[in-house]
Amino acid sequence: MQLKKPTIIALDGPAASGKGTLARKLAEHFNLALLDTGALYRAVGLGVLKAGGNPENEKDALNAASKLNEEILKSPEIRGESTGAAASKVAAMPAIRQKLLEYQRNFAVNPPLGKIGTILDGRDIGTVICPDAPYKIFITADVETRAKRRFLEEFGPDGSNDDYQKILFDLKARDERDMNRSEAPLKPHENAYLLDTSNSSIEAVFEAAVKYVSGKNVK
Ligand code: DC
């Protein structure tokens, strides 16, 4: 199978849509280097929180962005819900998006030795970062399904309804910010292959994505 050159897969979608899992599986399957671009915004958000700053303050965010490093990018704390909320606030700032743009584009076109291409997952990869990527995928699921998945991941089967409601509330707030910001809002590129995972397993979604990239049987 011959993939289109340069092999770049742009994978976008809302929080808890299964994007990260799909990105990892596709990277492994096609031998691509993976960049989780949400981690960049999360690292900036966490940097602000750690410095005792306010994620809605552009100066605090720019200060944290200028100190981005591997250590903070690898810190387990970047996965927390409070970091996610801070990330979505700093991600609404054009100056922060601009600061992270070049790094992402460079990564996209320079796969490390041994990899045949790259996959970037985020919110604006197909629309802003790599609009020329030959493969664009937009993965989504309804917000209740996403909240239920996140809830089961975090609390297991014994979580309370209050915990679920809080997760649902937070996800809706993040969707609202990510989709309605003026700069690079979350939306599918017009040529993106749309995958709705509300009623599909990650295996089925992965198979559909592989067929799309391989140019086979795309509906
Ligand atoms: O995918 P994630 O939940 O790790 O992303 C964290 C936040 O970063 C999310 O609220 C939106 C923002 N983000 C973005 O604006 N653009 C990207 N390319 C990736 C993430």
| Percentage of residues in the chain having pLDDT higher than 90 | 84
Q: How far is the CA of 36 from the centre of ligand 1 (A)?
A: 9
Domain span including residue 41: 7-213
63-112 tens-digit pLDDT: 999 999 889 999 999 998 899 889 999 999 999 999 999 999 999 999 99
Instruction: With respect to residue 47, please indicate whether it lies within any of the assigned structural domains.
Output: yes
Helix (H, G, I), strand (E, B) or coil at 48: helix
Instruction: With respect to residue 199, please indicate whether it lies within any of the assigned structural domains.
Output: yes
116-164 tens-digit pLDDT: 999 999 999 999 999 999 999 999 999 999 999 999 988 998 999 999 9
Q: How many domains does the chain have?
A: 1
User: Residue 151 and residue 143: Cα distance in Å, rounded?
Assistant: 12
Instruction: With respect to residue 110, please indicate whether it lies within any of the assigned structural domains.
Output: yes
Residue of the nearest CA to atom 6 in ligand 1? 38
**Terminal C-alpha separation, the chain:** 19
Ligand 1 in reach of 174 Cβ (< 6 A): yes
Residue 161: give its domain's CATH number.
3.40.50.300
Instruction: With respect to residue 96, please indicate whether it lies within any of the assigned structural domains.
Output: yes
141-153 tens-digit pLDDT: 999 999 999 999 8
Instruction: With respect to residue 119, please indicate whether it lies within any of the assigned structural domains.
Output: yes
Give this prediction's pTM: 0.92
